[in-house]
Amino acid sequence: MALNIRGYAAQSATSPVAPFTFNRRDLRANDVDIDILYCGVCHTDLHVARNEWGNARYPVVPGHEIIGRVKAVGSDVRNFKAGDLVGVGCMVDSCQHCAPCQQGLEQYCLEGSTLTYNSLDRQDKSPTYGGYSQSIVVREQFVLRVPDQLDPKSAAPLLCAGITTYSPLKHWKVGLGQKVAVVGLGGLGHMALKFAHAMGADVTLFSRSPGKEQEARRLGAEHVVISTDADQMKAVTGQFDFILDTVPHQHDLNPYLATLKLDGQLVLVGLLEPIDPPLAAGALVRKRISVGGSLIGGIAETQEMLDYCADKGITCDVEMINIEDVNTAYDRMLKSDVRYRFVIDIASLG
């Protein structure tokens, strides 16, 4: 048993994320022991720390955009060795035998994947603690290799924001000759612009407020449409093959449906609540369009995404913080005051 691991945790829905010391299970034969270097700050961290989804198991040590260096490996581990630069995303285990797991889609594990934090270990039922800590022990199959070409700090958010946007763009075969729109310019949205552009699509950002044109263009958008401007929205009626909606709270999807072509698809990656205002079924029927969702990505696809990023020179735009500033970062994130992802320098744990 590894004792006195230092981290930061929320102890209740109303308490700030604060220093927390815990004991950690020993390394199993197929585990990798990772010294954490950097951890991205995802909107999910805030949702769970504040129990906004009603499923928090306190204490909650958030963080699932983890970059670290392998410290030790279990006796059966063959693919990693001490010193390797590695990543851990949203999952640390799954059943490995259901149909989705067999297809490399562990995020859709029929038994439920084990999440990096706020979950229970499949073997000993101990709580899982995330990346706001010195170290983590993860089953080999859920450890990603971080290519040397990637800057480790700005690679951290690839493990959630990156794969969450990359996976649906690949699944729905976004590419050259297609018109793609991204709703929302946050941690996910800025990655969606980069990926859709890299995949060859003609990319538009839908934004609620003006002033983001220059940033959007820098990130890969060809066009910016102000979604609150009726004339601008009308001008793009029936334009898009695919819309990736990254907004993490309820909003009206119907104006976006109007901008889809025949057979267009809108995919939600941020929203988990009921779709309200309600979707107009007539809009779906009259253009044979679909509204769907997508959840992060599988482990093999996450590795593919990291390699793709190394090949294309893609990383996240990040703002580095010390861990004692994480509560301030949450407040700023709620005001969209971040370009575009906070990343914690875990060295600041001291």
Considering beta carbons, is residue 243 or 349 the nearer one to a copy of itself? 243
Residue 294 Cβ, how far from a copy of itself at the closest point, in Å?
Answer: 5
Q: How many CB atoms lie within 10 A of CB 207?
A: 22
Q: Which is nearer to a copy of itself, 292 or 313 (CB)?
A: 292
Where on the chain is the footprint of a copy of itself (CB under 8 A)? 99-100, 105, 108, 110, 171, 238, 262, 265, 268-269, 271-295
Element (H or E) spanning 226, and its range? strand 223-226
Q: Which is nearer to a copy of itself, 167 or 227 (CB)?
A: 167
CB of 269 to a copy of itself, least distance (A): 7
Minimal distance, residue 327 CB to a copy of itself, in Å = 27
- Largest Cα–Cα distance in the chain? 63
Q: Given the complex with a copy of itself, which of 267 and 326 has the nearer CB atom?
A: 267
Residues 174-194: b if buried by 16+ CB within 10 A, e if exposed? beeebbbbbbbbbbbbbbbbb
Residue closer to a copy of itself (CB basis): 237 or 328: 237
Residue number with CB closer to a copy of itself (211 or 238): 238
**Min dist. Cβ of residue 174 to a copy of itself (A):** 15
CB of 298 to a copy of itself, least distance (A): 11
Q: Closest CB to a copy of itself among 59 and 297?
A: 297
Closer residue to a copy of itself in complex, CB, 291/326: 291
Is-contact 154 316, C-beta < 8 A? yes
Q: Identify whether the C-beta of residue 305 lies closer than 8 Å to the C-beta of residue 166.
A: yes
Residue 54 is given by DSSP the state S
Helix or strand run (H / E) with residue 225: strand 223-226
Annotate 5-23 with DSSP letters as a single string. Answer: EEEEEE-SSSSPEEEEEEE
Nearest to 314 by CA among 191, 171, 178, 204: 191
Q: What are the angstrom distances between the C-alpha of 284 and each of 80, 255, 333?
A: 48, 12, 33
Select 176 or 285, whichever has its Cβ closest to a copy of itself: 285
Report the b/e string of 160-169 with b at 16+ CB within 10 A: bbbbbbbbbb
Rounded to an integer, what distance in angstroms lies between the CA atom of residue 9 and that of residue 20? 6
Shortest Å distance, C-beta 292 to a copy of itself:
3
The distance of closest approach from Cβ of residue 262 to a copy of itself in the complex, given in angstroms and rounded to an integer, is 5
* Nearest approach, Cβ of residue 45 and a copy of itself (Å): 18
Other beta carbons within 10 Å of 129: 25
Q: Determine which helix (DSSP H) or strand (DSSP E) holds 219, and give its type and residue range.
A: helix 213-219
Closest approach, Cβ 259 to a copy of itself, in A, equals 14
Is the N-terminal amide bond of 168 cis, ω within 30° of 0? no
> What is the Cα–Cα distance from 211 to 122, expressed in whole angstroms?
48
